[in-house]
Amino acid sequence: MKAVIIILIVLLVLFLLYILCLRCRRGKADWAHFRKWRYAHRGFHDREKGIPENSLAAFKRAASNGFGAELDVHLMKDGRLAVIHDASLLRTAGADVYIEDLTAGELENYRLEGTEQRIPLLEEVLPLFVGRAPLIVELKAERGNAAALAAATCAVLDKYKVDCCVESFDPRCLMWLWQNKPDVIRGQLSENFTAHGDAQHLPGGIRWILTNLLLNVRTRPDFIAYRFSDRDNLSLRLCRSLYGVQEASWTIRSKADMDAAEAAGSLVIFENFDPRG
């Protein structure tokens, strides 16, 4: 009987530690305001119409149609911020170079998806949404530049009065925000890394920790952006039920999934269809 009691106590302590690891910040953002919009993933792009992802055309199209947008930022070697998803330009611009090795001036040499659209700077995108709709800004940390990327992004965001929140897969970006810019609304991006094979450069244990949001204790996110198909994750459910965290669902590609996400109170980050039907 004594052994059973000890085991139960140990299990209880472990469960409490688990709950503490999932801690989120609450009360910082007006989520009712952010829920008024749907967010176009990498802009309201459409390859068939010659509107590439993360292009000025895609962001103008989102803003003019009453959508917010999700976008990705990388830190270039001159300290400027490029809006592009991949570090490599091979997929998006057909060039075997990395965005971190370029300057803002050198971006003029590349075009997106065979169009005349070039890779925009963050400072070019932000004015499109001022007074119109919010943005979800994803920090794409590379080569250990999480702190520098977060600092540079906040410096640009401070120059524009646009409603936005900042997210990243890399917890180090959120740690920097918590310590240095606590007024910024910050979100932890995640998914089931073991199921999708992403982040294979990381040890399996780290992928498991990130999947289950166990670094929340170090990042205290205001929201969690989770892959919609993985949203049955226990840690995510506990974050919602115990800490009331706001969820954002990515990437929504059908009206049925959009309706399900919005019924659960999630922000919708959509792609490849028009939510208006």
Q: Which pLDDT belongs to residue 87?
A: 98
Angle (deg, nearest 10), helices 171-180 and 146-157: 50
Q: Which pLDDT belongs to residue 107?
A: 95
DSSP for residue 262: H
Q: Which pLDDT belongs to residue 9?
A: 86
Share of the chain above pLDDT 70, in %: 100
Res 168 pLDDT > 90: yes
Res 29 pLDDT > 80: yes
Res 13 pLDDT > 80: yes
Mean pLDDT of the chain: 96
Q: Which pLDDT belongs to residue 56?
A: 98
**Whole-structure pTM value:** 0.96
- Confidence band of 4 (pLDDT split at 50, 70, 90): confident
Res 277 pLDDT > 90: no
- Cα gap 139→177, rounded to integer Å: 11
Q: Which pLDDT belongs to residue 137?
A: 98
Q: Which of 87, 177, 188 is nearest to 138 (CA)?
A: 188
- Confidence band of 144 (pLDDT split at 50, 70, 90): very high
Q: Which pLDDT belongs to residue 117?
A: 98
Q: Which pLDDT belongs to residue 19?
A: 97
8 compared with 80, residue with greater pLDDT: 80
Contact 174, 192 (CB under 8 A): no
Q: Which pLDDT belongs to residue 51?
A: 98
- Confidence band of 11 (pLDDT split at 50, 70, 90): confident
Q: Which of 34, 12, 7 is nearest to 225 (CA)?
A: 34
pLDDT tens-digit profile of 31-74? Answer: 999 999 999 999 999 999 999 999 999 999 999 999 999 999 99
- CATH number for the segment(s) 32-270: 3.20.20.190
- Confidence band of 252 (pLDDT split at 50, 70, 90): very high
Three-class SS state of 29: coil
Q: Which pLDDT belongs to residue 46?
A: 98
Cβ neighbours of residue 144 closer than 8 Å, sequence gap 6 or more: none
pLDDT tens-digit profile of 175-227? Answer: 999 999 999 999 999 999 988 877 878 899 999 999 999 999 999 999 999 99
Q: Which pLDDT belongs to residue 100?
A: 98
Domain residue limits, the chain: 32-270
Q: What is the DSSP string of 167-229?
A: EES-HHHHHHHHHH-TTS-EEEEE--HHHH---TTS-HHHHHHHHTTTTHHHH--SEEEEEGG
